[in-house]
A = this chain, B = another copy of it.
Amino acid sequence: MAGTDKSKAGTSTASAGGPAPVVILVRPQLPENIGAAARAMLNCGLTEMRLVAPSCRWPNPKAVALASGADAVLDGATIFPTMQAAIADLGRVYATSARSRGLVKPVVNARAAAADLQALVADGQRCGLVFGPERTGLESDEVALADVLVQIPLNPAFGSLNLGQAVLLVAHEWFHAGLDPQAHPARSLPLGGSRPATKEEMQGLFDQLERELHATNFLRPADKVPAMVRNLRAMLQRADMTEQEVRTWRGVIS
């Protein structure tokens, strides 16, 4: 049901298993928001969009403008008359909703939802992520159709998001939860063409620096020298120097 151009979806980070979750926008009002949602989806490897009774003309050039190139998502979007119809073929449905409307239903934050969805998809389940209309949110009967409610933690004094932003935050949690930490480390220090300096190379730098500082009579009085030397070395060590940088700084000292 999604667009025929799935090439961009090939970068989805979903673990092996079924296709990534479907994003379902219920009665969206503004085509700009549909376009922004499509862009956010493709940014995060989600490609299948379903629209339930959009209240704007469809297709809509304003959606295309805001999609900024995520045309395949819009072109593949399918229209349903009701949320019930839009989720009929899915196994597990998560709906963003600020309120649980008195229903006893599990509530998770977007990060936990993303972890769940990655696990469900890896297990081959077809899942949906439902977003309600801009002004009103989902109706109670629609909230009742969802298995799990998703809440996005935000400043309680200023928590209103537009639809495109809500899709972006939830979609990005999905993407992040699927990242392979080997290929996408949280922290790195790219070294260009160089490599980390060895302890011997650092010692060579320390020795040269201290020889020069003795020669220029900087290191005195004698009883303070050991602490001064330790402090100079500590600073240089914190910099995690590369072999190239050690050579450059030895040149600077000469």
Given the interface pairs A165-B168, A191-B104, A242-B104, the reply to whether A155 lies near B45 with Cβ below 8 Å is yes
Cα A136 to Cα B231 in complex, Å, equals 41
A8 contact from B104, B155, B194, Cβ within 8 A: B155
Interface of A is mostly: loop
- Given the complex, which residues of B lie within 8 Å of A104, measured CB to CB? 189-192, 194, 242, 245
Q: Is A98 an interface residue (CB 8 A)?
A: no
C-alpha spacing A172/B118, complex, angstroms: 21
User: A102 — nearest CB in chain B belongs to which residue?
Assistant: B192
Cα distance, A242 to B106, chains bound together (Å): 13
Inter-chain contacts of A70 with B (CB < 8 A) = 158
Closest to A172 in B: B169
Residues from chain B with Cβ under 8 Å of A108 in the complex: 186-188
Shortest C-beta distance, A249 to chain B (Å), equals 13
Shortest Cβ distance from A154 into B: residue? B43
A208 located at the interface, meaning its Cβ lies under 8 Å from any Cβ of chain B in the complex? no
Please, could you name 7 A-B residue pairs with CB atoms under 8 Å apart, sorted by A? A8-B157, A68-B160, A106-B187, A107-B187, A107-B189, A153-B184, A169-B172
Whether A62 is near chain B, meaning CB under 8 Å from some CB there, is: no
A251: interface (CB < 8 Å): no
- Residues on B with C-beta less than 8 A from A55 are none
- With A and B bound together, what is the CA distance between A158 and B3 in angstroms? 16
Report B-chain residues with C-beta under 8 Å of the C-beta of A158: 8, 11, 42-43, 69-70
- The verdict on A228 contacting chain B, using a C-beta distance below 8 Å, is no
On whether the beta carbons of A11 and B160 are closer than 8 Å, the reply is: no
Report the separation of the CA atoms of residues A175 and B159 in the bound assembly, to the nearest whole angstrom: 12
- State the CA gap A25–B40 with chains docked (Å): 21
For A191, the chain B residues whose CB sits under 8 A away are: 104
Kindly list chain B residues whose C-beta atoms are within 8 Å of the C-beta of A7: 157
Encoded as 1 (CB less than 8 Å from any B CB) or 0, chain A from 41 to 70 comes to: 011110000000000000000000000111
Residues in B with CB closer than 8 Å to A189 are 104-107
Least Cβ distance of A245 to chain B in Å? 7
Task: Say if the beta carbon of A126 comes within 8 Å of chain B.
Answer: no
Tell me the smallest distance from the CB of A159 to a CB of chain B, in Å: 7
Complex contacts, A162 vs chain B, CB 8 Å? 68
A221 at the interface (CB under 8 A from B): no
- Residues of B within 8 Å of A176, CB to CB, are 111, 153
CA distance A12 to B109 in the complex (A): 18
